[in-house]
Structure 1
Amino acid sequence: MICAVYKSSVKPETYLYVPKNGDFSQVPEPLLKMFGTPIFVMALPFVKVEKLALADIDTVKNDIEEKGFYLQLPPPTENLLEQHKKALGMEE
């Protein structure tokens, strides 16, 4: 299986995986509007890939097969002030 990976033109660190290059037919219209213009990043051959950096490869494969796409959102931002307060025992 090969899929195409696109990054969002408006949402940083947001990626959309679809089964074929340019095939957004299974992606809901509201999601495409929020995503902005898809910018092609790469073709990803699952046969040669065992692990992805920020997504579980089995989840990606399953979502593409079942839903027709996978949406990768950015990791949550760290609140360094809250972490520092916790370290100092100043939790609210």
Structure 2
Amino acid sequence: MQAFVYKSLKKADTYVYLAGREDFGRIPDPVRAGLGELRFVLEVALVPGRRLAREDADVVRANLVSRGFHLQMPPRADADPLTGDWGTDA
């Protein structure tokens, strides 16, 4: 399955995977409005066994089949151990 990935120019680290190139009509209007302008960044084959940096490829494929899109939000700060206070003054 091919996926077309677009970066939100309004929301940092937010990406939309689409099942069809420029098929923005699949994104609900309130979600689309919050994303602002989208810029194409990548076409990727989501074959079984494919690994993605921040998403589970199986979940992305399932969302593309059921909804036609998958929304990748920025990682939560509380889930990233590198963003916490380590108690150093460095």
Structure 1 stretches of 4+ with a deviation exceeding 3 A read: none
The one-letter amino acid paired with 1:70 is: H
Q: How do 1:8-87 residues align onto structure 2 when only pairs under 5 Å count? A: 8-47=8-47, 50-78=50-78, 80-81=84-85, 84=87
TM-score (norm 2): 0.83
Larger gyration radius, structure 1 or structure 2:
1
The one-letter amino acid paired with 2:84 is: L
CA distance in 1, matches of 2:52, 2:60: 9
Segments of structure 1 that go 5 or more residues without pairing to the other structure are 85-92
The percent identity for this pair of structures is: 34
The one-letter amino acid paired with 2:40 is: F
CA distance in 1, matches of 2:49, 2:16: 17
TM-score (norm 1): 0.82
CA distance in 2, matches of 1:57, 1:48: 8
Aligned residues: 83
Q: What is the CA deviation profile of residues 37-68 of structure 1, one whole-angstrom value per residue up to 9, with x for unaligned ones?
A: 11100111113861000000000000010011
